[in-house]
Amino acid sequence: MSPGAAREPYRGRAAARGRTPRRRWRRKDRPVSLLRELPLLVVVAVILALVIKTFFVQAFFIPSGSMQTTIGIGDRVLVDKFTPWFGAKPQRGEVVVFKDPGGWLSRKQKSDPPPGVKQLKQAMVFVGLLPSDDEQDLIKRVIGVGGDTVACCDATGRVTVNGVPLDEPYVYPGDAPSNLPFSVKVPKGRLWVMGDHRGDSSDSRAHQDRPYQGTISENDVVGRAFTVAWPVSRWRGLPVPKTFEGAGKFTNPGNTAAVLPTVPVVMGVAGAVPVILVRRRVRSRPRDRDFQARLPGT
């Protein structure tokens, strides 16, 4: 009697008792090695990282002191790029990252890396692991929006918005609200921005001789910086200061180089791992057709 025939009565008894015959795993049913899934994991992680970087959250490295002490030199901030897709516009008091309107930053002199290194660098820039030499972004605080009249200084030396003086505890200790007097009516669709370190910030005040009197376009804004993410010792939010709060307080209603590090990549990997795990689990499940073929009488 063959071994298969000897096992047949047992299968018949199991079926008669209403039990499901125990399925024996074969080599082809075993989960696929994670090493074989690694290329797919990398591809999914890169795609998710690019989507996150483009539409949701981007991290920026701050190399200058124009926003001290709110944001220190070497800090990384997270920037919300998602809400503007729903029509949200920059508001007074928000810290925003924006593209160089033209002439605010000096162009960097590029160095040509050796062959091979150049291509690797370009690939890492593409997925957000390294900064782009072409990116020219700045970070400042919005003081006035379209329709506002921003001026300095009042009798007590404070900046005013539509005649309302601002109490600015975020200004760098020892700095005056502004050593340069100004009075500008912000055109519609534009913003008046200033750094918190007023003595070390080339902001709207320094570009009043340009078109639109130093204001920037809302369309140049990349997004709002909402938290300092790194280093951990400086981890905190960037809320709108209380001096800008209060409905009707202002008569007119509101209408530094930055580098992308590894945050989108980390989030991309975090999103890709569940996809791979689900795919592996689905592939490891027995197919109904194969399982039915093993039952007695089929």
Lowest mean pLDDT among 61-65, 71-75, 155-159: 61-65
- Residues 127-134, mean pLDDT to the nearest whole number: 50
Buried b (16+ CB within 10 A) or exposed e, 190-210: bbbbbbbbbeebebbbebeee
Residue 268: its pLDDT value, please?
53
Residue 103: its pLDDT value, please?
82
Quickly state the pLDDT bin for 286 (edges 50, 70, 90): low
Lowest mean pLDDT among 76-80, 249-253, 258-262, 265-269: 258-262
Greater pLDDT, 233 or 260: 233
Residue 277: its pLDDT value, please?
59
Of 209, 90, 99, the C-alpha closest to 142 is: 90
For the chain, what percentages of helix, strand and coil (3-state, to nearest 5) are there?
35, 20, 50
Tokens matching residue 68: 């001290």
Whether 264 and 128 have beta carbons less than 8 Å apart is answered as yes
Residues annotated catalytic, as ranges: 66, 140
Lowest mean pLDDT among 4-8, 141-145, 166-170, 196-200: 4-8
Greater pLDDT, 75 or 37: 75
What integer best gives the mean pLDDT of the chain? 75
Q: Alpha helices of the chain — where are they, by DSSP H?
A: 3-16, 34-55, 117-127, 263-284, 288-293
Phi, psi (degrees; rounded to nearest 5) at 290:
-65, -40
Adjacent-strand bridge partners of 77: 60, 228
Greater pLDDT, 80 or 138: 138
Greater pLDDT, 37 or 149: 149
**Using one digit for the tens of pLDDT, what is the confidence trace for 91-102?**
999 999 999 988
Residue 174: its pLDDT value, please?
94
Q: Is the pLDDT of residue 166 over 60?
A: yes
8-state DSSP, 196: S
- Residues 2-15, mean pLDDT to the nearest whole number: 51
Whether 203 and 191 have beta carbons less than 8 Å apart is answered as no
* Count of other CB atoms within 10 angstroms of residue 149: 17
- Say whether 57 sits in a helix, a strand or coil: strand
What is the residue type of 288? D
- Say whether 59 sits in a helix, a strand or coil: strand
Residue 261: its pLDDT value, please?
45
Of 199, 225, 90, the C-alpha closest to 144 is: 90
Rounded Cα distance, 144 and 96, in Å: 13
Rounded Cα distance, 201 and 143, in Å: 14
Q: Work out the angle between the directed axes of helices 263-284 and 34-55 (0-180°, nearest 10).
A: 140
Residue reference for tokens 């376009």: 217
Q: Is the dihedral of CA 66, 67, 68, 74 positive or negative?
A: negative
Tokens matching residue 203: 């902001």
